[in-house]
A and B are shown apart, each in its own frame.
Chain A
Amino acid sequence: MLRVVEFNERLKFSNQLLNSHVSLVSLLNILEGATTKTVQFNSLKITQSDQVSLLVEAELGTDSFDNVLFQRGQYKNNQSITSTNFSNLIFTPITIDMDNTTTRQDKRLIQLSAQFIFDKDVILYTPNIINLPSTQQDTNSTTTPEETSNQVSS
């Protein structure tokens, strides 16, 4: 009885973990796809906001208000992003560097904070069949056992 209960519990928890296994690569791909070339990410923070969603906080930089408006529309129209919020927009006009009389190109004119919420269902990890381990050991493999042991896909 105890053996069955113990096995059942382990399966139940494993199933829970599998069902909540998200792919941050997918999340980054979605953000990449939805971000225009005129907008730059200065920093990024991804946290688990609750059981069903991920919160992404970013500091963005761009050169014009048109870019901000267009980018906001792009994010809002993206079906994979549950919600988007832009805040703390700071506009810094072009300043002339007195030493070499060039404009500061390294810093964007407009800086703002962005918050994105992603549903975990949208970015769930889906196993790639190519990554499945083979049933037979590859005798010609040059990788060491310790390297292969922890890189087996589920």
Chain B
Amino acid sequence: MNPFQLFYKIAMVVIAITIGFLYINPTISKIKSTQDMSQIYMEEATKVASVNKQLSDRLHDIDSLTLSNKQALLIYLPDKIDDVSVLKDLNTILKQQQIVANSLVYKGPVIKKDNNEVVETSGLTTHQFEIVADVTYAQLKELLGAIEINNYPLQVALLTVDPSENGFLTATLLLSAFSREIIIPTDDQV
């Protein structure tokens, strides 16, 4: 046997192993990685399609609501509180109960954070209004009853009742009305 031929064979084997180790193996790994990525992409694409379907269903649900229901929701929780309108409404309620207020004041907004939510994308703003009036006990109950059935929430945050002159009671009501400030998250916040 020619020693040169033996060396040639060994060299060829070494070169083959080297090619296999340095080129084929990484290429196979790369293909495997690409296949994995492709699989993940397919799964994510399925998820996105599912979310889009859900989104489409929800949009359909929203669109199928009657205009009066949408308006009622907007009145119940508006984007902004018009303090003059609320004061006018309160005055109308007082008039209906034949109560003349000693004072009717907008006390301003109080920012209230969402409960236990770390990421804040929206907030509920509380606006406070104060009514001070001399009333009978029956009138006070009627007034509270009328406030309860208002078409937007007027929560009584504080009620104090103290005796006044001529058998009347001086009632001080601190009422909370609510608006929802919409904060659209930016790309940095998402």
A28 to B140, CA, bound (A): 10
Query: Which of A45, A131, A154 interacts with B158 by CB under 8 Å?
Result: A45
Query: Do residues B160 and A45 form an inter-chain contact, with CB atoms below 8 A?
Result: yes
Q: Which residues of B contact A154 (CB under 8 A)?
A: 76, 149, 151
Residue on B with the closest CB to A23? B148
Q: Which of A1, A9, A42, A150 has the most CB of B within 10 A?
A: A150
Q: Which residues of A contact B158 (CB under 8 A)?
A: 45-48
Residue on B with the closest CB to A131? B149
Q: Which residues of B contact A46 (CB under 8 A)?
A: 156, 158-160
Query: Do residues A17 and B148 form an inter-chain contact, with CB atoms below 8 A?
Result: no
- Please tell me if A94 contacts chain B, counting CB pairs below 8 Å: no
Within 8 A of A (CB), among B82-98: 88-89, 92-93, 95-96
- Please tell me if B184 contacts chain A, counting CB pairs below 8 Å: yes
Q: Which residues of A contact B146 (CB under 8 A)?
A: 151
A154 to B62, CA, bound (A): 20
- Please tell me if A153 contacts chain B, counting CB pairs below 8 Å: yes
Query: Do residues B92 and A147 form an inter-chain contact, with CB atoms below 8 A?
Result: yes
B22-65: contact bitstring with A at CB < 8 Å (1 yes, 0 no)? 00000000000000000000000000000000010011001000
A4-B55, A125-B148 are known contacts. Are A146 and B92 too (CB-CB below 8 A)? yes
Query: Do residues A9 and B122 form an inter-chain contact, with CB atoms below 8 A?
Result: yes
- Please tell me if B132 contacts chain A, counting CB pairs below 8 Å: no
- Please tell me if B105 contacts chain A, counting CB pairs below 8 Å: no
Closest chain-B Cβ to A122's Cβ sits at a distance in Å of: 15
Query: Which of A44, A125, A153 interacts with B159 by CB under 8 Å?
Result: A44
Query: Do residues A25 and B157 form an inter-chain contact, with CB atoms below 8 A?
Result: no
Query: Which of A9, A23, A43, A127 interacts with B160 by CB under 8 Å?
Result: A43
Query: Do residues B62 and A25 form an inter-chain contact, with CB atoms below 8 A?
Result: no
- Please tell me if A129 contacts chain B, counting CB pairs below 8 Å: no
Query: Do residues A14 and B77 form an inter-chain contact, with CB atoms below 8 A?
Result: yes
Which 4 pairs between the two chains have the least Cβ-Cβ distance? A150-B89, A153-B149, A152-B151, A44-B161
Question: What residues of chain B have their CB less than 8 Å away from a CB belonging to chain A?
Answer: 55, 58-59, 62, 73-74, 76-77, 88-89, 92-93, 95-96, 115, 121-122, 124, 141, 144-146, 148-151, 153, 155-163, 178, 180, 182, 184
Q: What are 27 pairs between A and B in contact, CB < 8 Å?
A: A3-B59, A3-B62, A9-B121, A9-B122, A9-B182, A13-B124, A14-B76, A21-B153, A21-B155, A24-B156, A25-B148, A28-B144, A43-B160, A45-B161, A46-B160, A47-B157, A47-B158, A48-B157, A127-B149, A128-B149, A146-B88, A147-B96, A150-B93, A151-B92, A151-B96, A151-B150, A154-B149
